[in-house]
Amino acid sequence: MKSGFGVRRSAFAVLVLLVLGSRFSWFSVPGSTVAAENQNQNQNQNQNQNQNQNLKNQNPERRTPNAEPGSVRVGFLRADGSYAITEIPLETYVARVVAGEAARDSRPAALEALAITVRTFARANRARHRADGFDLCDQTHCQVVRAATAATERAAAATDGQLLLHGGAPATVYYSASCGGHTSAPSEVWPGHEDLPYLPSKRDDACERTPEWDVELRANDLVRALRAAGFRGSLHAIHVTSHTPSGRVARLRLDGMDPDQISGQDLRVAVGRTVGWQYIKSTDFDLRTHGDLYRFSGHGSGHGVGLCVIGSTRLAERGQSAAQILARYFPGLAIANESVRTPAATPTAAARRPLPASPPTAARATPSNDVVVSLPDEDEGDRSVIHREIVRARDELARALRLPPPSRVVVRFHATTDDYERDTGRAWFTSGAIIGGELHLLPLATLRDRGVLERTVRHEIVHLMADSTLAGRPAWVKEGAAIYFAGAPSIAGDVQRPPFKPDPRASCPTDNELLRPVSAGALANAYARARTCFAKQLAAGKAWRDVR
Ligand SMILES: [Zn+2]
Ligand SMILES: [Zn+2]
Ligand SMILES: [Zn+2]
């Protein structure tokens, strides 16, 4: 290959050997980090391990007030895992992110297309780190921030203030290193994500199906990744069972594991987080088994939704403008300077002054009944669906319990079961815990594939709302309430806890059995008895707050 991409690819193959198990992530939810991959690589391992720790340890007192209009509060990850929060002008931020996310030696038109995309992404995703007291982090989770170059500063200046707008607001945009020849619709990657007309699944001849990749993964590494994602059992065989409309792997069957299937995206993320992102670069792959080696051969790099960074550099080389590139990857979106569309209070300042961070109505609506979701990299596309589910669960439970909804619900999904166990001090089979008033949950993929996502969220929200009312009672009262109001395990695919028929005269579980369970089975047993004890008193006519 004559492209710079091929050169880098061979360089990173060497690095892969040197940095075993590192998290090599040039294809996070938004970004490709094509230029930054090498600098990034060594830092990423620690950063990844520390990420959830940081999120938990953010000190609310140190939160800065909302950023000034036209600036972004960026959380720069420190070596010790905390964030240094710095407010920087939006246009400086754009020039620095373009340096972090663009392909090397990109033509100006490609950098300008990326600058508009990066600016739009920043404006549309300000809520992402609300739980942590800033707007966007400097990692692949949000957008990678590097030192700006003269070329990226020119790209920011040439597109000053320009955004991709949908219905007059910054659009939901994504980008990845390479779509591999066919862009994805969002729902192909994140189940339940709204499919938007300007994020189509369609053929892209610009990236010429690069990169083409071929990797082997040892069975024990694959199992290690699956176990870290919350899967149990031993892997006898793995088969692709279906494809998405754009030809990516939709689902795989995992013979011998529990749950016994996984989506292509969840597999890529599980392997990326645990073994390294250099293995399964996209879900556009073929899979063959040779003894205890799994061979993945594929195209592209990243989720493939929205702008294809490699494709955009090729289009710029063919003479296309930034507007033409954006029209191809985001068909139907208007490129406009929002500050012109909505004049600011001082007419003379209007041209230069962007709007506030978020629409004023939304900003004012949030202080009460606030739901804040924290998701690890690659799960961000699930945000809107998860947020909606949590709000619905909270409101339903508030009605069922006849309690006001909590003023703030913070829900943190962990990247791996190890992260969950370390940050909560609970075993993986507990699924969820409340620590410091915040809900901590197992990886999204596990809860979803087990069919217990909704029930687990509801269970913890009941604790959040009802535990103070039930203070001083035995643990079975609080657990019984949580299990009872969370609802029956009705969702198909719940194989984690087979239905347990307790002896009607069985004793209520002790605090120890519930709070320090020795195994998944012991906990399931204790839960079932707690529910029975709780339900018995309700059936006898007691109000839930009077159960004791
Ligand atoms: Zn982030
Ligand atoms: Zn492409
Ligand atoms: Zn509980």
CA of 273 to the centre of ligand 2 (A): 24
**What six digits make up the tokens of 252?**
């795989």
Average pLDDT in the chain: 82
Q: What does the pLDDT read at residue 80? A: 85
Provide DSSP, 287-319: EEEETTEEEEEEE-BS--BSEEHHHHHHHHHTT
CA of 72 to the centre of ligand 1 (A): 13
222-256 per-position pLDDT tens digit: 999 999 999 999 999 999 999 998 899 999 999 99
**What six digits make up the tokens of 273?**
């987080």
CA of 91 to the centre of ligand 2 (A): 27
Ligand having the closest approach to the CA of 177: 2
283-307 per-position pLDDT tens digit: 999 999 999 999 999 999 999 999 9
CA of 463 to the centre of ligand 3 (A): 7
Ligand having the closest approach to the CA of 531: 3
CA of 265 to the centre of ligand 2 (A): 18
Ligand having the closest approach to the CA of 122: 1
129-140 per-position pLDDT tens digit: 988 899 999 998
Q: What does the pLDDT read at residue 449? A: 83
65, pLDDT greater than 50: no
Averaged pLDDT for residues 109-123: 97
CA of 113 to the centre of ligand 2 (A): 14
Averaged pLDDT for residues 343-369: 39
Q: What are the residues whose beta carbons fall under 8 Å from the beta carbon of 324, sequence distance 6 or more? A: 109, 315
Determine phi and psi for 533, rounding to 5 degrees. -60, -40
Ligand having the closest approach to the CA of 534: 3
Q: Are 311 and 179 in contact (CB under 8 A)?
A: yes
Q: What does the pLDDT read at residue 397? A: 94
Neighbours of 499 (CB within 10 A): 9
* pLDDT band of 505, cuts 50, 70, 90: low
**How many Å apart are CA 283 and CA 249, to the nearest integer?**
5
32, pLDDT greater than 80: no
Q: What does the pLDDT read at residue 418? A: 87
Ligand having the closest approach to the CA of 459: 3
CA of 252 to the centre of ligand 1 (A): 29
139 versus 127: the higher-pLDDT residue is: 139
Ligand having the closest approach to the CA of 457: 3
* pLDDT band of 37, cuts 50, 70, 90: very low
**How many Å apart are CA 224 and CA 445, to the nearest integer?**
15
Averaged pLDDT for residues 33-41: 41
Q: What does the pLDDT read at residue 500? A: 52
Q: What does the pLDDT read at residue 67? A: 54
Q: What does the pLDDT read at residue 348? A: 37
523, pLDDT greater than 70: yes
384, pLDDT greater than 80: yes
**What six digits make up the tokens of 125?**
């995703």
414-437 per-position pLDDT tens digit: 989 888 998 899 888 888 999 989
**How many Å apart are CA 379 and CA 145, to the nearest integer?**
20
**How many Å apart are CA 409 and CA 426, to the nearest integer?**
20
CA of 458 to the centre of ligand 3 (A): 10
**What six digits make up the tokens of 519?**
């195994």
Q: What does the pLDDT read at residue 518? A: 85
Q: What does the pLDDT read at residue 336? A: 92
Q: What does the pLDDT read at residue 536? A: 92
Q: What are the residues whose beta carbons fall under 8 Å from the beta carbon of 131, sequence distance 6 or more? A: 55, 58, 372, 373, 374, 410, 412, 438
28, pLDDT greater than 80: no
Q: What does the pLDDT read at residue 191? A: 84
CA of 460 to the centre of ligand 3 (A): 6
Q: Quick one: CA dihedral 377, 383, 385, 386, positive or negative?
A: positive
Q: Are 163 and 337 in contact (CB under 8 A)?
A: yes
CA of 262 to the centre of ligand 3 (A): 26
Q: Which of 361-370, 468-477, 507-516 has the lowest mean pLDDT?
A: 361-370
C-alpha distances out from residue 479 to 429, 452, 467, 474, Å:
15, 16, 9, 9
Sheet holding 136-137, edge to edge: 83-89, 71-77, 136-137
Q: What does the pLDDT read at residue 329? A: 98
Residue 372 pairs in a beta bridge with: 410
**How many Å apart are CA 480 and CA 314, to the nearest integer?**
60
Q: What does the pLDDT read at residue 363? A: 38
Q: What are the residues whose beta carbons fall under 8 Å from the beta carbon of 306, sequence distance 6 or more? A: 117, 173, 174, 175, 176, 183, 199, 329, 330
Q: Please give the distance of CA 206 from its chain centroid, rounded to a whole number.
A: 28
Ligand having the closest approach to the CA of 460: 3
Q: Are 189 and 300 in contact (CB under 8 A)?
A: no
CA of 317 to the centre of ligand 1 (A): 31
* pLDDT band of 68, cuts 50, 70, 90: low
Calculate the dihedral angle through the C-alpha atoms of 463, 467, 472, 474, rounding to the nearest 10 degrees: -30
**What six digits make up the tokens of 191?**
């189940």
Q: Which 8-state DSSP code applies to residue 484?
A: H
**How many Å apart are CA 208 and CA 11, to the nearest integer?**
21
Q: What does the pLDDT read at residue 129? A: 92
110, pLDDT greater than 90: yes
335-353 per-position pLDDT tens digit: 998 654 443 433 333 333 3
Q: What does the pLDDT read at residue 490? A: 40
* pLDDT band of 446, cuts 50, 70, 90: confident
Ligand having the closest approach to the CA of 329: 2
Q: Which helix (H) or strand (E) holds 221?
A: helix 219-228
Q: What does the pLDDT read at residue 69? A: 64
Q: Are 246 and 185 in contact (CB under 8 A)?
A: yes
Q: What does the pLDDT read at residue 378? A: 83
Q: What does the pLDDT read at residue 339? A: 53
